[in-house]
Each structure stands twice: as C-alpha cells, then as structure tokens.
C-alpha cells in the first residue's frame, strides 16, 4: 500500500472518530447537563427582568441562565433568539454575558471540518485532472525515419526542419526562423503518430505526445489549464516536439452559442492561440498536430505564423504497400501465392493500419479452419470483414 493511500485511510479514520465522539456527546448530553438549576418559563423570566428581580444573565445559543436578588439558586429558561433580548436586559440594568454552548462548539468544528474536507476534495480532483504527470516526456522515441515505410517526400521536407532544430544559431544568422507549428493531414491509420515519433527521434529531441481527449474534463476550465501545463512542460524540456493527435477534437471552429461544451471548446482554442503566440520561433518548440479534417479547424488557429506548413500523409503507394505486406506477413506463415507484390495490388487504397489488420485477420481465419498457411481466399474474407 502506498503512502498516499495510508494517509487517506488515516484521515478517514480520524473523521469517523470525531463523528463518533460527537454522536456519543449527543447521547449523554442530557445526563451531563443536568444541574441543580430551576427551570422557569420565558414569560416568567421576562416579567422578572422588568420587575428588576434578575441580577445577571448568561445568554447561550439554546438557553438563558440567570440569577435573582437574594437567591443563590440558578434559574434557566429557553432562549428565543430575539434580536431585542440583549437590549431589553441591558436597559433593565442586567449584566449580560455570552455563553458558548457545547452544541455551538461542535457545530463550528463540524463546519470547519466540512470546509476543510470540501477544499481537500477540490484540490485532489484538480491535481488529478491537472497533474504535472498528465503529459509524459519521451526523451528517446526509439524510432527514426528509416522505420517509417513510404512518405519519402514528406521525410525530405521534414529533414530540413530537423536541420533547423539541430542548428538554430546558423539559420538564425541567415534570417531563417523555425516553423512554430506543422499540420499533418490524412486519413486515419496512415501513420501520422508514428511519423511524429520518428521526426522527434530523427532530430534527437524530446517528444511530448497528447491527444484531444487529454484536454476533456467534466469540470469547466480544466481544458485551458491543461493547455498551459502542456506548453509549460515543453518550455522546460526544450528543444522538443509537442504532438497533438486528433487535433480537430479540440481545435474546431469557435461557436458562441452559449452551451457549456461550446464555451469550453472556445476557451481551449483561445488558450492554444495564446500559447502559440507566446513562444518565439527560435524557442526550440515545434507543434506537430495531426488531423483527419483540416476544414473543421478554427481559421485563426491554423493561420500562417502559428502553423506555417501543412503536409498531407497519403495512403501508401505501390512500393510502400509491398514493403508493408512484407513487414506484416512476417511470422504469419503465408501460402506461396501470397507474395508481397500480389498483396500490394489487393491492398490498393488501404491504409497502413488496415493492411496490418487484414493480414492479421487472414492468419486467424486460416488457424480457425485448421490450415497451416493463410491463402488469398483468407485475405479476401478478412478484407470483407473490415
């Protein structure tokens, strides 16, 4: 059991103990508070004050204890909590003292405990949703451009940015600044995330991955706070790449309809705008954002100066499909007819993820039918199931 759980359990036991003491007090209170005093009606007390019989009075939250002239007995009566009572006593020359009853003491204690517990819960929830560990810094991604199949034109374009990040002073002397942000647009499953990791690995810099769901929360204003946390961590670990997947999930066009969801989305977009404008182009931070639909993004967010370049991540071409088929067939025992060239033609228009899924499913179908190898028929069956 970790230290946090032990502390939480101890706090819970302490609160239960305090609650138990309070309940015990309420049970034994009638016995403990019985004294040799005489109960009188409030009407009688009021008349005694008016007749000058009362010499002193102690006003508590639930009762009044008083003494009378020439009498050593203490009297008590109910306290109606009248705002004019104290003035009435003083005008009749009765010294008045305040008395804090045990009920009032325990009530204040529990009020304070309630506020303490309430704010502790808020603090814990805030720390849970906006924790310094929300975004993980990957110092070595373990992949480079050589591990990415295809995308040769995109690799060539991005290698120049890699060179800028590795030699910022040289490019700055030439008046060339590094882009602040780059958009990667393409259909799902074509390797945008892998490409972003490979870019960071190629540049040998830190990599901070994030996705749209990381900024979602049941509480308002948590999303913008996470945006600030992300960029603050990036500044601390520069040079680095911030990769935001599913960017269209948080960067959509702002809508001022007034709904809670739209308001939170507007705040997140505004926070992104402020952060993108807040760091310099030579700060060593590059934002890579992947989206399936660039047209859904807010125009102010993706304008030049914030995102300076847009690259399309296409479906794999014929050569890439051959290499992907070779890679994903490894260890699956294909039949002789399932050559990479034949499969590449069958997989025309398939994403990288779909090629892997179809071949994996084909191997499973062959195993289910008792075949040692999967055939083209198994591949076609697997393709229809996708």
Instruction: Establish if 30 belongs to a structural domain.
Output: no
Q: Per mean pLDDT, which of 128-142, 268-282, 353-367 is the most reliable?
A: 353-367
Encode pLDDT of 219-230 as tens digits.
Answer: 667 778 888 888
Instruction: Report the run of H or E that residue 58 belongs to, with start and end.
Output: strand 54-59
Instruction: Establish if 40 belongs to a structural domain.
Output: no
Least confident span in 63-67, 84-88, 212-216, 285-289: 212-216
Residue with tokens 């179809």: 358
Q: Are residues 260 and 356 in the same domain?
A: no
CATH of the domain at 176: 3.40.50.300
Q: What is the mean pLDDT of residues 355-368?
A: 90
Residue 84, number of CB atoms within 10 A of its CB:
8
CATH of the domain at 373: 1.10.8.60
Instruction: Report the run of H or E that residue 39 belongs to, with start and end.
Output: strand 37-39
* Residue 18 scores a pLDDT above 80: no
* Residue-level pLDDT at 223: 79
* Residue-level pLDDT at 68: 92
Q: What is the mean pLDDT of residues 306-323?
A: 87
- Over pLDDT 70: what percentage of the chain? 83
Adjacent-strand bridge partners of 297? 252
Q: What is the mean pLDDT of residues 82-99?
A: 87
Instruction: Establish if 331 belongs to a structural domain.
Output: yes
Q: Where are the alpha helices (DSSP H) in 237-306?
A: 260-278
* Residue-level pLDDT at 44: 93
d(CA 121, CA 127) in angstroms, rounded, equals 10
Q: Can you give the residue range of the structural domain that contains 200?
A: 145-312
Omega of the bond prior to 239 within 30 degrees of 0, cis? yes
In angstroms, what CA-CA distances link 123 with 8, 118, 128, 129? 14, 9, 8, 10
> Which residue, 277, 296, 312, sits at the end of a domain?
312
Instruction: Establish if 111 belongs to a structural domain.
Output: no
Please name which of 289, 258, 259 lies closest in space to residue 272, comparing C-alpha atoms: 289
């Amino acid at each position: 059991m970790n230290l946090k759980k032990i502390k939480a359990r101890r706090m819970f036991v302490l609160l239960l103990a305090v609650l138990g003491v309070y309940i015990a007090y309420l049970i034994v209170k009638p016995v403990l508070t019985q004294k040799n005093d005489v109960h009188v009606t409030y009407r009688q007390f009021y008349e005694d004050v008016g007749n000058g019989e009362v010499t002193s009075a102690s006003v508590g939250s639930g009762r009044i204890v008083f003494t009378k002239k020439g009498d050593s007995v203490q009297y008590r009566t109910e306290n109606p909590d009248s705002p004019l009572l104290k003035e009435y006593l003083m005008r009749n020359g009765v010294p008045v003292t305040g008395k804090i009853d045990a009920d009032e003491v325990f009530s204040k204690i529990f009020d304070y405990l309630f506020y303490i517990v309430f704010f502790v819960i808020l603090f814990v929830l805030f720390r849970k949703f906006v924790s310094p560990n929300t975004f993980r810094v990957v110092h070595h991604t373990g992949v480079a451009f050589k591990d990415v199949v295809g995308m040769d034109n995109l690799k060539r374009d991005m290698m120049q940015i890699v060179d800028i990040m590795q030699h910022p002073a040289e490019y700055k002397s030439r008046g060339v600044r590094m882009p602040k942000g780059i958009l990667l647009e393409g259909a799902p499953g074509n390797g945008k995330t892998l490409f972003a990791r490979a870019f960071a690995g190629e540049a040998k810099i830190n990599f901070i991955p994030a996705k749209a769901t990381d900024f979602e929360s049941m509480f308002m204003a948590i999303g913008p706070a996470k945006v600030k946390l992300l960029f603050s961590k990036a500044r601390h670990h520069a040079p680095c790449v911030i990769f935001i997947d599913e960017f269209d999930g948080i960067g959509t066009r702002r809508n001022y309809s007034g709904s809670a969801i739209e308001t939170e989305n507007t705040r997140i977009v505004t926070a992104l705008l402020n952060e993108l404008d807040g760091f310099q182009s030579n700060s060593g931070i590059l934002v890579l954002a992947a989206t399936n639909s660039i047209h859904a993004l807010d125009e102010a967010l993706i304008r030049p100066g914030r995102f300076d370049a847009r690259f399309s991540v296409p479906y794999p071409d014929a050569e890439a499909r051959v290499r992907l088929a070779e890679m994903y067939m490894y260890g699956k025992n294909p039949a002789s007819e399932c050559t990479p060239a034949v499969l590449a033609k069958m997989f025309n228009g398939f994403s990288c993820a779909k090629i892997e899924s179809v071949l994996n499913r084909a191997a499973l179908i062959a195993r289910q039918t008792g075949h040692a190898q999967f055939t083209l028929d198994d591949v076609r069956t697997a393709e229809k199931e996708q």
